[in-house]
Structure 1
Amino acid sequence: MKRNQKIALSAFMGAMGLAAAGGAWAQTGPDCGLNTGKAATGEPIPIGAVVGKTGPDDFSASGQAAAAYFKCVNANGGINGRPVDYIVADDQWNPETAAQVASKLVKDRKVVVLAGSTSFVECGANAKMYADEGVMVIAGTGVPRECFNARNYVPVNAGPRVSATIAAMYAAQKYKAKKMVCIIPNIPSLGNWACEGPKEWGKKNGVEVETIAIDPGSADATSTMLQAAAKKPDTIIMNVPKGILVPMLAAAEQQNIGKKIHFVSSAPAYNADVPKAIGPYWKGNFDVNLEFNPLESAGPDNKNWLAVMDKYGAKSDPRDTFSQAGYVAARIVTQALLKMDPKRVDRAGVTDALRKVSDFRSDILCKPFYVGNGNRHNANNSGPVASPDGNGWRFAPGGCLTAEDPELVDIRADEQKMGLK
C-alpha cells in the first residue's frame, strides 16, 4: 500500500462572532452573530431549507439545529438589526414534493439563501432550479451524488462516498487489508457511486473492492452478510444507514463473521446509541469514519453548538452529527450576511458573498471550509476514525484522515487555485 495518506491534525479553533468581537465574550450565553443580547426588530431576511422530515425516517436534524442557531442570532441583534425568517419545508422523501416546496421557497417566499437543508431526494429534483434562480444552498447534509455535483449546492458534510473511502483507507492502513466488500443501498444516485470511491482508490493502491447493492426496504441481513463473507474479503465496508447497519452486524455476530473479517463503516454508524446496540462483540473490530470531530469534543465551537441547542432548540432535537452540520451551515451563512450592508441583502449579493467564503473555521471541522466558484462542492473531505468500546466510542490516534478518492481531483484543483492546502 502507498504510504502517502495525508494526516491532518484536527481541531482548528473556531472564529466565532466575527462581527462584534467586543461584545462576543462579554455575555455568558451561547455565542451567536452580533451577541448584543437584544432582539432584532428590523425587516426580516427570508432564509429557507428543504428537509426530509416525514417518510421512511426523520431526516431533519440539520434544519432543527440551523433553526436554533438563527433563533440565537435573532435574540442577539440579528443580521445587523434584521431578524432571520427561517422557513423549513418538508419534502416527505418525495422528489415531486421536493420540487414543489423548493419552488415555493425560492419563487414565492423569495428566500435569499437556503441553509441547513437535508434530503435524500431534493438535490436531483432542485439543483438545476437553484442554479437557474441564482440561489445558493449551504446544506447541512448531502447524500446522493447530485448533492456533490451541483454549482449552487454546498453540503457541509463529507458525504457517503468520501466517508467510505476514508474507512477503506483506514482498513488498509491498520489491518493491511487487500480485499474488501462495500455494502450500499441501491438508491438511485447513491448505489454504486458511494462505493466507487473505495473501489477507485483501491485500484491505485493494490486493494480489490467489490460492491453489494441491497434493497434498503427488503434486504435480509443474514443473507447479505453471508453473501459478503463468501467473497472472502479481509474487510467489509458498511455504507448503510444505522437502521440497516445494526441488524446486519447482529447477523454477522450470529454467524461469527466479525471474528474472521474486519468491519469498517462510513459516518452513519457514528451515533451515541450504536455501541450499546451492537454490543461488546464488536469491541476492537469495528471502525467508523466521522464526517466531523466528535460530538463530545472540547473545542469552543462544538461546545457552543451544544449551548445553542440547549437554550434555543427543543429537548427532542437530536444532538448528533447531522445537528452539528446544520449548526455549521447556519454559521457560514450568518458570517457571510454580517459582512453585507443590511439594506442590500438580496439574493445576488448573498450568493456573491457566499462564493467568497474561503477560510471558514470551526473546531467541528477538520479543515477550514470554503465555497468558491467551483462547479461542484465537497470541501469537507477529512475526518477522524472511532471504534466502539462497548459503552461509547474511542478515537484512533493521528487526527483526521483526508480522502484520496480520485473523484476529488477537480476539488483539489479548485483548492489549489484558491491557495488552500
Structure 2
Amino acid sequence: MNVRARRLGMLSVATATIVMMAGCSPTSSGDDAGAGPIKVGAVSSITGPAPFPDVPAAAEAVFREVNENGGIDGRTIEYLSEDDGGDPALAGQAARRLIDEEGVVALAGSASLVDCSANATVYADRGVVSIAGAGVAPACFTASHIAPVNAGGFEGYTALLYYASEQLEAERVCAVILTVPGVTDGYHDSIRRWEDLTGTSIAMVDESVAHGDDPTPAVLAARSAGCDAVVFNSSEPVAAAFMNSVKRQGQLDEAAWLTLTAAFTDDALTTLQQQDTLGLYVNSEFLPYTGSGPAVDQWRSTLEKAGAEPTSLSMGGYTSAKVLVSVLEGIDSEITRETVTDAFESLDQVDAPLLGTPFTYEGTSEADPDRATMVVQATDDGWETVSDWIHLP
C-alpha cells in the first residue's frame, strides 16, 4: 500500500494530507469507476487539538486485508484518508477534493471534530454516504448521508449520568463541560435528556474550563457543590490531567469520576496507575477492547497484522470499514457512488458484533437509531468492565 503526502497550500507538514492508497491506477469518477480500484475516502482529525488517528488507521487495516484476499470481485479498495487538523475550512477542502477530484464512491472511518458540521450539506448535495468511524459533533447524528457506527459522546455523556444515578446511586450528580467550540451545546442537551429520563435535576453544571486547560477550577467547583458523582468530557491526556487535579484537591475518594470513551486506552490506564488516580469510570462505545471473544480477537488480529494501534475508538474505524465492505459485496451491479448510496438507502441492517446493536442506516435527518454503551473502570488489574450494555430508555 503506497503512502503519499500532499501539502494543503502553505500548511506545515503536521497538517499535510496523508493519502493511503491500495492500487495504482489513474483517477476514476465516483459515478463511473470502471474496473479500477474502488476509491473510498475519509476526513479525520489526524492532527489538531483532538486527534483521532487510530480510527482511519483501523479502517485502512480492514481494506488492506480485503485487498490481500482478492478485493471486491477482483477490485482493490483505494483508501484516501485526509487530515483536517480540526479546521472546518480544511475539512471542507478535503471533502470536496475526495468527492469532486478523486471520485470516491463513499467515505468510511472518518473521525473529526469538524467534518460533520462542515460537510453535511456537501455529502447530501453530492449524494455521498459517510459511514463515520467515530461521530463527534451533533451534526454527525442528525445529518442525512452521515451514519456513525459509534454511540457518540453525547449519548455516552447521558449514559454516564444515568449510570451514576441509577447504578452508583449518586444523589448529587454533577456535570463538568470542558468547553469545545461547536460541541458544548450538545452536552447541555445530554444533561436535559438525563433529567427527563430520571426526573431529577443536575446538582451542578460547570463550564469554567476549556478543553485542554488546567482543570483545577472545575474540580474545585465540584468540591464546593458537594458532588458525589462528576461526569466530564475529555480526551485521553485531558482525562489524566483532570484526575491528577482531582487527587491534588483531595477529591479522589469524595466522588465518583466518570468520563468519555476517548480515555479508554492502555496509555491512559498506565498514566492513571503511575499517578495513583485509579477508579475513573469510562464508557465504552464498543465491546471493551481489553476483553476477548471471536469479534474482539478478529479485530485485534486485523490491526496487529497492519501495525495499527488497538484502541477502543479504533473499533469504530474497523466496524465502519467492515460495514462498507459488507455493502459493497452485496452490490450485484457496477460499484459506483450512486449504486453504493442506493444500497445503503435500501439497507435493513448489518450485523456488527463489536456494537451493542446492529448497524442501521436511515439516510434522513430524522434517524434516531438505538445506540448502546458499556462502562469500564480503571483498576490496579487493568480496565474492568462494570456494566452490561446500557440502552437508554
User: For residue 40 of structure 2, what is the amino acid of its counterpart?
Assistant: I
Structure 2 residue 315 is the aligned partner of structure 1 residue 324: yes
Structure 1, 183-192 or 381-390: larger mean CA deviation: 183-192
Which residue of 297, 308, 330 maps to 2:291? 297
Write the letter of the residue equivalent to 2:218: T
- Determine whether 1:384 maps to 2:381: no
Between stretches 101-110 and 52-61, larger displacement belongs to 52-61
**Which residue of the partner structure matches residue 403 of structure 1?**
392
- Deviation digits for residues 132-171 of structure 1, max 9, x if unmatched? 0000000101111111110111111111110011111111
Structure 2 unaligned regions, length at least 5: 1-33
* Distance in 1 separating the partners of 2:211 and 2:391: 32
1:371 aligns with 2:371: no
Aligned equivalent of 1:394, options 376, 384, 390: 384
Match of 2:110 in 1: 117
Alignment partner, residue 282 of structure 2: 288
Cα distance in 1 for partners of 2:262, 2:37 equals 36
Matched ranges for 1:210-359 at <5 A: 210-216=204-210, 219-279=213-273, 282-283=277-278, 285-311=279-305, 313-314=306-307, 317-341=308-332, 344-359=334-349
Partner of 1:43: 36
Count of aligned positions: 358
Q: Which one of 147, 151, 154 corresponds to residue 154 of structure 1?
A: 147
Bigger shift: residues 74-83 or 263-272: 263-272
Aligned CA distance change for structure 1 residues 241 and 378 (closer, same or farther; 3 Å): farther
Match in the other structure for 2:71: 78
Q: Is the 8 A contact 1:89 1:101 kept in 2?
A: yes
Which has the higher mean CA deviation after the structures are superposed, 197-206 or 94-103? Answer: 197-206
Deviation at 1:75, TM superposition (A): 1.3
Q: Distance in 1 between matches of 2:241 and 2:368?
A: 31
Distance 1:220 1:339 in 2: 50
Following superposition, the deviation at residue 291 of structure 1 comes to 0.4
Percentage of identical aligned residues: 28
Once the two structures are TM-superposed, the CA of residue 211 in structure 1 deviates from its matched residue by 2.4
Structure 1 residues 375 and 250: CA distance shift in structure 2, 3 A: same
Give CA deviations for 1:368-398 in whole Å, capped at 9, x if unaligned.
Answer: 111124325553621111111124111115x
Judge conservation of contact 2:209–2:215 (CA < 8 Å) in 1. Answer: no
Partner Cα separation in structure 1 for residue 51 and residue 262 of structure 2: 14
Q: 2:85 is matched with which residue?
A: 92
Gap regions ≥5 residues in structure 1: 1-40, 405-421
Structure 1 residue ranges, 4+ long, deviating more than 4 angstroms after superposition: 280-283
Larger RCO: Structure 1 or Structure 2 (Cα < 8 Å, ≥ 6 residues apart)? 1
TM-score w.r.t. the length of structure 1 is: 0.80
Contact 1:178/1:207, CA 8 A, preserved across alignment: no
CA contact (8 A) 1:164 1:195 kept: no
Residue deviations 1:326-372, cap 9 Å, x none?
Answer: 1100010000011112x511111101112233332232111111112
User: Structure 1: which amino acid aligns with 2:246?
Assistant: A
8 Å CA contact 1:154–1:377 kept in 2: the answer is no
Rounded Cα–Cα distance in structure 2 between residues aligned with 1:250 and 1:199: 29
SS in 1 for 2:282: strand
SS of aligned partner of 2:207: strand
Counterpart residue type for residue 121 of structure 1? V
* Structure-1 separation of matches of 2:212 and 2:236: 15
Shift of 1:206: 3.1
Query: SS of the counterpart of 1:153?
Result: coil
Tell me the secondary structure at the aligned position of residue 155 of structure 1: coil
Q: Considering only aligned residues, what root-mean-square deviation do their CA atoms show, in Å?
A: 2.0
CA gap 1:291/1:388 in 2 versus in 1, 3 angstroms: same
When residues 115 and 204 of structure 1 are mapped into structure 2, their CA distance, relative to the original with a 3 A threshold, is: closer
Is the partner of 2:147 in helix, strand or coil? strand
CA distance in 1 between partners of 2:365 and 2:376 (Å): 32
In 2, distance between residues paired with 1:123 and 1:176? 36
**Contact kept? 2:131, 2:149, Cα under 8 Å:** yes
Distance 2:192 2:270 in 1: 31
- Are the aligned partners of 2:262 and 2:313 in contact in 1 as well (CA < 8 Å)? no
**For residues 182 and 50 of structure 2, what CA distance do their matches in structure 1 show?**
19
User: Which residue identity is paired with 1:357?
Assistant: L
Output the CA distance in 1 between the equivalents of 2:345 and 2:295.
23
Deviations 1:207-231 (A, max 9, x none): 3223222543563222220012212
Contact 1:47–1:112 under 8 Å retained in 2: yes
CA distance in 2, matches of 1:260, 1:282: 13
